[in-house]
Amino acid sequence: MRLTILVPLLPLAGAAILLLSGKRWRGSSAGWLATGLVAAGFVVTLILFFRLLGQPPQHRRYVAHFFDWIQVGTFRVALDLRDDPLSIVMALTVTGVGSLIHLYAIDYMHGDPRFTRFFAYMNLFVFFMLTLVLANNFLVLYLGWEGVGLCSYLLIGFWFDRPAAANAAKKAFITTRIGDSAFLIGIIAIWVHFGSLDFGKVFGAAPGLANGTATVLALLLFAGAVGKSAQLPLHVWLPDAMEGPTPVSALIHAATMVTAGVYLVVRTHRIFEASSSALTIVAVVGIVTAIYAGLCAIGQDDIKRMLAYSTISQLGFMFFGAGVRAYGAAIFLLVTHAFFKACLFLSAGAVMHGLPDEETDLLRMGGLSRLMRVTALAWVVSAAAMAGIPPLSGFFSKDQVISAASLAGREALWVAALAGALLTAVYMGRATFLAFFGESRHDGHPHDPPPAMRWVLVVLGAGAAVAGVLGLSAGGGALLRFLKPVVGPPAERVAGPPEAVLSLISVIAALAGIGLAAFVYLSGRFDWQAFRARFAGARQTLARGFYVNDVYAGAIVAPAKAGAAFLAYLVDDRVIDGAVNGVGGSFRRLAGVGRLLQAGLVRRYALAFAAGAVGILVYVAVRL
């Protein structure tokens, strides 16, 4: 449907207008323009969504051809946009949650000297993300993919005058680039193999792939997803990315950008399924990341870093779901996660806003629920949703993901996922009780944010609470039924106990986690501060993410820096500059000899002149 082009075009127009008109926007008008355009994109997406609904399920796919982008020999890439259930669900999430975050940012960023530019970048980011999810071939998807990386660089480093932010931006860009390179190689390999980058052609031919080829292709694509979605071992950029403004964290690192990897795996699942081992690798990487990040999140004292690790952990669950072929459930978790994680980030932003000096240390909060009622309510609902407490949204989505492992007969993975869910409940409980309950450890007079920000929190919190209805009815719920034409039906039970029992077990795990956190941090019967001091080493290990960063710094960054220093200070300074300066210097020395002739004394020149004349005369006289 040609209307589809409007969806990415509206935010692009916003970015172009704001970037070109610069500082002419007074007050918050730039923010309202940006918000309005993303919201308009949301409305257009809704129209597309209802048009899709009006079709029978097997016909819910439109490909709109706009123009031929590249045509070289047999290599053809068209700029096509696709709307099918998966794209539309992603686009609705991006524009819906995105416009709420824009709205929140108007007040949050108020008074920033680069206010207009901030919204230009935000719009540009939404544009690239929409290009990514609406693409109908790998190259257009890659265009969005790289654009999203660029915008994350711009936005994480938005306060580039802070060295930490500038470094975090570089780190995010370089780390994701490692995955992006693998992804690009994967795209080239796909073209070499299928002779096309078009989704329809590639996925149509994918089931006939040889096992080895499919594994290589799938793992190259997955490497891209690992970088973008901050999974082990390329997760290190995301916690640092919290240096960006909080709405950026909410937009990029919770709701949209990092989900691109999950989307990619779900979109290309036919390639993964053609391989015997790729999906298992995806599931294992996902669950290991989920558990690892869950442990790290428990050790974080910074509220935003805690949320960053929780994002990594939840993304791990999404990959895990995709890895056990519960693609619909993975996307369901992605959608609900967008709600509750955006809400959590924005609540954290409200807390920072309310406390003096943008306080992010959980240990210097406490008891905020009495002073920031709306914020606390939004946070608690979202945190409970994330922990998987029924009837909130996270319960349905995460339960579907976890149960899928057992239903597929993979008990070991299921047990690991339960452990991950338990950790989720523990760290969310810990953060909630430390920040919002217990005795007050802060100074200043915290208060709820201004109305616009407050309403965004309310809407997102409500979404986090009720989005679970999408997974409520028969056959895995409305969302899964809607996605079925793209991702296939949810897996049938082949082994293990029935779903109701599995759900009960996940709820017990979630409640146990929260109970543990409540006992430690809320009941007053456990001296957690003494415990903390006693196990300082272990706490430090968790807080620093098992020293992965330090290992990278020692094993990769330090040798690279030493190599660069060798090249810069020895090879460049001595060898290259030495050769260039040596040539120049030898001419200078030669000129130094000739220069002696030019003394500047006119009489000496005249003498030379006369001597020359006499010389010629003598010569002529002698010759004649």
Partner 1 sequence: MRTPISYFLLVSGTLFTIGTIGVLLRRNALIIFMSIELQLNAVNLALVAFSRQNGNLTGQVLTFFSMVVAAAEVVVGLAIIVSLYRKRRSVDVDDARMLKW
Q: How far is the CB of 591 from partner 1 (least distance, A)?
A: 9
Complex with partner 1: residue 568 or 590, whichever CB lies closer? 590
Give the nearest distance from C-beta 580 to partner 1 in angstroms. Answer: 23
Site membership for partner 1, residue 606 (CB under 8 A): yes
Q: Given candidates 602, 620, 622, 624, which one binds partner 1 under the rule CB under 8 A?
A: 602
Helix segments in 299-326, DSSP class H: 303-323
Question: Rounded to 10 degrees, what is the CA torsion of 566, 571, 572, 575?
Answer: 160
Enter the tokens of residue 516: 């543990």
- Residue written as token pair 């080493």: 537
Task: Mark the segment that binds partner 1 (CB under 8 A) among 19-27, 149-157, 456-464, 604-612.
Answer: 604-612
**Whether the Cβ atoms of residue 450 and residue 107 lie closer than 8 Å to each other:** yes
Calpha distance 453→505 (Å, rounded): 37
Of the candidate residues 111, 113, 163, 600, the single one contacting partner 1 (CB under 8 A): 600
Q: Report if residue 618 touches partner 1, rule: CB under 8 A.
A: no
For position 616 contacting partner 1 by CB under 8 A, the verdict is no
Question: Can residue 595 be called a binding residue for partner 1 (CB under 8 A)?
Answer: yes
| Span interacting with partner 1, options 109-117, 260-268, 544-552, 600-608, rule CB under 8 A | 600-608
State yes or no: residue 607 binds partner 1 (CB under 8 A).
Answer: yes
Instruction: Give the total of residues touching partner 1 (CB under 8 A).
Output: 10
Residue by residue, DSSP assigns 241-298 as GGGS-HHHHHIIIIISTTHHHHHHHHHTHHHHHTSSSHHHHHHHHHHHHHHHHHHHHH
Alpha helices in 135-206 (DSSP H): 138-156, 163-194, 199-205
Nearest CA-CA partner of 511 in 431, 429, 438, 396: 429
Interacting span for partner 1 (CB under 8 A) from 50-58, 196-204, 462-470, 606-614: 606-614
Using rule CB under 8 A, residue 590 touches partner 1: no
Closest CA to 65 of 120, 16, 5, 12: 5
Nearer Cβ to partner 1, position 23 or 588?
588
CB of 595 to partner 1, least distance (A): 6
Residue range at the interface with partner 1 (CB under 8 A); choices 48-56, 318-326, 341-349, 599-607:
599-607
User: Shortest distance, CB of residue 613 to partner 1, whole angstroms?
Assistant: 9
Residues numbered 343 to 402 that lie near partner 1 (CB under 8 A) are: none
Piece of the chain touching partner 1 by CB under 8 A; list 127-135, 356-364, 428-436, 603-611: 603-611
Please, what's the b/e burial string for 604-615 (b: 16 or more CB within 10 A of its CB; e: otherwise)?
eeeeeeeeeeee
Q: Which of 598, 621, 622, 624 binds partner 1 (CB under 8 A)?
A: 598
Report the residue number, 495 or 618, with the smaller CB distance to partner 1.
618
Task: Dig out the tokens for 395 from the structure.
Answer: 């319960």
Contact in structure between 230 and 296 (CB atoms under 8 Å): no
- Say if residue 450 is preceded by a cis peptide, omega within 30 of 0: no
Options 95-103, 396-404, 519-527, 601-609: segment touching partner 1 (CB under 8 A): 601-609
CA angle 487, 489, 490 (to 5 degrees): 100
Residue 570 engages partner 1 in binding (rule: CB under 8 A): no
Q: Are 221 and 264 in contact (CB under 8 A)?
A: yes
Residues that bind partner 1 (CB under 8 A): 595, 598-603, 606-607, 610
